Amino acid sequence: MIIPVILSGGAGTRLWPLSRALYPKQLLPLLTEKTMLQETVLRLGSLDNVGQVCCICNEQHRFLVAEQLHAVTGNIDGIILEPVGRNTAPAAAVAALYALSKHEQPVLLLLPADHVIRDGEAFARTVAAGYAEAVSGSLVTFGIVPAGPETGYGYIRAQQQGSSDSPCYPVLEFVEKPDRATAERYVESGDYFWNSGMFLFRADVFLRELELLNPEMLAFSRQAYEEAVADLDFLRLDSAAFTACPADSIDYAVMEKTSHAVVAPLDAGWNDVGAWSALWELNEHDEASNVLKGDVLVQDVRNSYIHATSRLVAVVGVDDQIIVETPDAVLISSRDKVQDVKAIVRRLQQSKRVEAENHRLVFRPWGSYETVDLADRFLVKRIIVKPGAALSLQKHFHRAEHWIVVKGTAQITIADRQITLGEDQSTYIPLGSFHRLENPGRIPLELIEVQTGSYLGEDDIVRVDDRYGRIADAGNTGESRTPSD
């Protein structure tokens, strides 16, 4: 049986400002109404002999991932949480251990959550062709039939001459991203494929090879899995063990060194959406070869991608540009320089700018909040609470809060008393008071929160009770890195 393992731990920094650390590209609907994660799950419907989905993600994304998965499938086996990123090889090792605890001789299909595959039938045929090779003990990687001399991908050189009737070819070498001239030679030779980062192999075979080639990585991965703790619908890997695990990709840790690697050629309209230029290529163009998203007006503009999310964006007299507007940031780049967006994100992180981590609209398991205004000693938020949902019972050391109900009904706990508020009613939460906000109604609760105080950072929170298991996130010290509420 094939066990799909979706790897959803990336940050997608080259698609900033839409993609951010706490809301990365795989959780965004970039090409269809479904998110990239959801499209990856739906693609599995074309495969035969497929078991339940296992997803490995950053623990900070867990509620978003769970909500998006449940929206498109009930066929979920587990969501495994990484306390830190350690690249794909440790994630694959944990997935293999997990699958072996539930299935007899499972075959893992590892799929990044942020890839586009246009031809689902061709994808299914290639997976089926590689399945027999995987069952027999080969480690299968999917090599993309190159559409041209691309310099943004690594390549796989395959031994095609003199091969048997197998649909897979022995791997001769993995090579790094080439320059243009080298990429042209690769494509002309016909011996090279783009490296997709997708794999198909038996769980026990992968673990055997990893133990031979990188026993330290396997030992820490095994310890992290064996000491993992169940948390609601999630499995939390042991933080100390997983943090100590060496970080490396499946390619470097195993595939480049094993004698059992084979490549299955895949020609299915694949793209890893690694930069804004990819979205320009993948979307439908107007008569001037522009891609326009949102409220956009253009005059004398060609070959550009322009995306507006919150306001009118008007552009005049430019060619080959990427322009992306969000409520708190605007990106402008020439189309051939979009790979350098990553450097901008690095500078934002070094400056500890919130724009690297969050949007103004932040999603939580109970709903969402959006920063409306911020200045010295006050902050204004718009809060939406789902029907039946509740925020944690919490307090703050440095701020008081004023709540005004705009729509719906609010059940509010303040210290030892409870009150119910309807539309146009308000209340005050004194500094240091334990409080909780609940929505007992059948429609979303909307309210305006005005915070006042000497410090309005999102880490000023102490949780004492939370139905979503986030007390450990806040650490009960007021020093949480996760946003409040």
- Kindly state whether residues 325 and 428 are assigned to the same domain: no
Whole-number percent of the chain with pLDDT over 90 = 88
The mean pLDDT value for 313-324 works out to 98
The mean pLDDT value for 387-404 works out to 96
Tokens 């070819």 locate to 169
Residue 484 lies in a domain: no
> The CATH number of the domain where 24 resides is what?
3.90.550.10
The predicted-structure confidence for 365-379, as pLDDT tens digits, reads as follows 999 999 999 899 999
Residue 479 lies in a domain: no
Assess whether pLDDT exceeds 60 at residue 159: yes
Burial of 364 (0-12, 13-18, 19+ CB in 10 A): buried
Residue 438 lies in a domain: yes
- Kindly state whether residues 258 and 396 are assigned to the same domain: no
Strands 291-293 and 305-308: parallel
Assess whether pLDDT exceeds 60 at residue 270: yes
Residue 388 CB: number of other CB atoms within 10 A?
11
Residue 485 banded pLDDT, cuts 50, 70, 90: low
- Kindly state whether residues 235 and 307 are assigned to the same domain: no
Residue 40 lies in a domain: yes
CB of 315 closer than 8 Å to CB of 301? yes
* Model pLDDT, residue 322: 98
- Kindly state whether residues 227 and 291 are assigned to the same domain: no
- Kindly state whether residues 37 and 98 are assigned to the same domain: yes
The tokens describing 48, both together, are 């035969």
- Kindly state whether residues 211 and 327 are assigned to the same domain: no
CB of 129 closer than 8 Å to CB of 168? yes
The tokens describing 477, both together, are 């010290």
The mean pLDDT value for 396-416 works out to 96
CA distance linking residue 74 with residue 42, whole number of Å: 11
- Kindly state whether residues 224 and 266 are assigned to the same domain: yes
Q: Cα 126 to the chain's mean position, in Å?
A: 25
CB of 377 closer than 8 Å to CB of 393? no
Range of the domain at 187: 2-271
Domain count, the chain: 3
- Kindly state whether residues 284 and 261 are assigned to the same domain: no
Residue 458 banded pLDDT, cuts 50, 70, 90: confident
Whole-number percent of the chain with pLDDT over 70 = 96
Assess whether pLDDT exceeds 80 at residue 168: yes
The predicted-structure confidence for 321-334, as pLDDT tens digits, reads as follows 999 999 999 999 99
* Model pLDDT, residue 478: 34
Residue 347 lies in a domain: no
- Kindly state whether residues 162 and 44 are assigned to the same domain: yes
Residue 321 lies in a domain: yes
- For the chain, the average pLDDT equals 93
Residue 427 CB: number of other CB atoms within 10 A?
17
Strands 155-158 and 169-175: antiparallel
The tokens describing 396, both together, are 């703050």
The tokens describing 151, both together, are 């310099």
The mean pLDDT value for 94-98 works out to 98
- Kindly state whether residues 220 and 310 are assigned to the same domain: no
Of 271, 296, 330, which residue constitutes the final position of a domain? 271
- Kindly state whether residues 225 and 147 are assigned to the same domain: yes
- Kindly state whether residues 222 and 313 are assigned to the same domain: no
Assess whether pLDDT exceeds 90 at residue 469: no
Q: Is 477 left (phi over 0), alpha (psi -120 to 50) or beta?
A: alpha
Residue 161 banded pLDDT, cuts 50, 70, 90: low
Burial of 167 (0-12, 13-18, 19+ CB in 10 A): middle
Residue 337 lies in a domain: yes
Tokens 């989905």 locate to 53
Instruction: Tell me which H or E stretch contains 344.
Output: helix 341-350
Assess whether pLDDT exceeds 60 at residue 50: yes
Of 246, 271, 296, which residue constitutes the final position of a domain? 271
> The CATH number of the domain where 391 resides is what?
2.60.120.10
Assess whether pLDDT exceeds 70 at residue 132: yes
* Model pLDDT, residue 452: 96
Residue 482 lies in a domain: no
